[in-house]
């Protein structure tokens, strides 16, 4: 009987190839593993989608920067506010009356 059991085990092991990709699991029962080629394709697809998203964001950023530069917010052409010079006597009169502008 021992010989018959051993023969059955040998036949089963011969029929089933060892270390086949589908038989190996990553510790997750019921999950089939993928071949390295399929995994590489999935990773490549994810990278391509991230690259497209990044390109769209870069285009938006460039457009916003161009609008900011053309938007007229630069300081060129704006004259600084000129302080009106007053005499010491006028300053003293304003100081005594409490109307001093800190312009």
Pick from 82, 100, 83: which is nearest to 91 by CA? 100
Q: How far apart are CA 35 and CA 23, in angstroms?
A: 12
Q: What is the pLDDT of residues 33-56, one digit of tens each?
A: 789 999 999 999 999 999 999 999
pLDDT at position 58 is 96
Q: How far apart are CA 21 and CA 39, in angstroms?
A: 13
Q: What share of the chain is helix, strand, coil (3-state, %, to 5)?
A: 55, 0, 45
Domain borders along the chain are 32-70
Question: Which residue has better confidence, 44 or 5?
Answer: 44
Q: What is the pLDDT of residues 90-99, one digit of tens each?
A: 888 888 888 7
Q: How far apart are CA 16 and CA 7, in angstroms?
A: 14
Q: What is the pLDDT of residues 57-92, one digit of tens each?
A: 999 999 998 888 787 655 666 677 778 888 889 888
Both tokens assigned to 21: 């990709």
């Amino acid at each position: 009987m021992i010989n018959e059991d051993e023969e059955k085990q040998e036949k089963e092991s011969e029929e089933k190839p060892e270390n086949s990709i589908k038989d190996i699991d990553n510790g997750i029962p019921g999950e089939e593993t993928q071949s390295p080629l399929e995994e590489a394709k999935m990773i490549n697809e994810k990278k391509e989608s991230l690259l497209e998203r990044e390109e769209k964001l870069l285009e938006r950023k460039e457009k916003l920067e161009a609008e900011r530069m053309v938007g007229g917010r630069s300081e060129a052409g704006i004259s600084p506010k000129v302080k009106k010079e007053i005499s010491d006597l006028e300053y003293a009169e304003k100081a005594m009356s409490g109307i001093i502008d800190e312009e």
